[in-house]
Amino acid sequence: MAETLKTKVLIIGAGTGGYVAGIRCGQLGLDTVLVDGGDGLGGTCLNVGCIPSKAIIHAASKFETVSKAAAGGTLGITASKPAIDLAQTTAWKDGIVRKLNAGVAALLKKSKVKVIKGWANFTDAKTCTVTTADGDIVISAENVILATGSEPVELPFLPFGGDVISSTEALSLSAVPEKLVVVGGGYIGLELGIAFRKLGAEVAIVEMADRLLPLYDKALTDPVQNWLEKHGVELHLGAKAGSFEKGHLNFTTKDGEARKLKADKVLVTVGRRPRTKGWGLENMGVAMAGPFVKIDDRCATSMRNVWAVGDLTGEPMLAHKGSAQGEVVAEIIAGHDRRFDPVTIAAVCFTEPEIVSAGLGPLDVEGRDDVITAVFPLAAIGRALAIEAGEDGGFVRVLASKSDHRLLGVQAVGQHVAEMSNSFAQMLEMGAVLEDVAGVIHVHPTLGEAFHEASLRALGHAIHI
């Protein structure tokens, strides 16, 4: 006979939305059960996404630096030709993940959250059966938080398996593939494609759109495309991928020509979709918004006391959005008056160079004559030059209202600009005007000075240009 359990809050999914909701519920004294049925505590982000990919990207950059030193020197530094043992690198990455897993487990335990490892299946909106290694547990709850996350999109003619891999498998390779073909020129494909190029792989990218990262404006993506071309990455834009046969990917060029690309591995990164199948969502009676669960500004679904957070609720599919929503829901359940209504959710592409976007960009204000736009190049920032971050066309750009100088958006492209993303988001969230940014004494020498100078330039009096 199945064990039965009743709880105040039941959370399905242990990713950044689910586990943060769990910790906050525990802090607020709510009896909470968290069901982890996927990648482990921390979800996709911690286990097979954000964290491990950034570890591999970091290792690849280190390898590239030594390779430059071996190929004639860099900054006066010379070295012997390096070698990469990707199995050791992957083991190091796995160690980071284990450490963070343990940290999340300890935080949940401290917050008195009961964690159950198993797969949930709902029979109605408030009741599910969790299949665990030790048998079934039937759980009923007053409140349910759905945080099931997302999964890679699989192409029917390129099913995952063998040498056709998703980002998950790419992060656990034991050797650098000699020839890697990436299908999809979005941020995941580019981040990993660039990392493997730095590690010595020959890389080709097949993208259906006419340019890379089509959600960003061309000025932001040009420096990335320039890096790819300079480093011998083969770009096939406006192209359609086909089947993978006998070590070759079939594809059709922009002009309709059928061609083949030799590949040891084919990395398919054509997007992610919400994980809505296999756990009884159809039995819960919640309204949908296309493929996503429909929520209001309280993250409430159409079913009373059923909430949803993270990738399940739509774009942007970003870990920090899910975490923020998880906190909001926990506090609402505890009786607080909260809304999820951010001014901006900043996004970062950890490409080479990095891209940051917060708020409105040029594509959002096209045709408007009530917006000031100002750009400041990183090449005019001393710190950028001193760390080789000012020579790839990088810049910081601000958009503001002409009438009251209210900041509308901030973007940047360049090495290490990801670290400015929180400053951009903070200023937008606080409703800052250009004069606020200009009035902050920015530390010298830092890359953040470019934000200061871009704001000064929007006001008509930049200092260093």
Strand 164-165 and strand 179-183: the pairing is unpaired
Q: Are 240 and 249 in contact (CB under 8 A)?
A: no
Token pair listed for 146 = 């759905």
Q: In whole angstroms, what is the distance from residue 297 CA to residue 325 CA?
A: 10
Burial (0-12, 13-18, 19+ Cβ within 10 Å), 297: exposed
Task: Name the catalytic one among 236, 336, 444, 452.
Answer: 444
DSSP for 411-463 reads EEEETTGGGGHHHHHHHHHTT-BHHHHHHS---SSSTTHHHHHHHHHHTT--S
Q: How far, in Å, are 255, 320, 323, 464 from residue 327 at the CA level?
A: 50, 11, 6, 42
Residue corresponding to tokens 């796995």? 94
Is 452 a catalytic site residue?
no
| Residue 290: closest CA among 324, 319, 313 | 313
Find all residues with CB under 8 Å of 124, minimum gap 6, and list them.
283, 284, 285
Token pair listed for 253 = 């060029």
DSSP-based three-state secondary structure for 110 = helix
Active site residues: 444
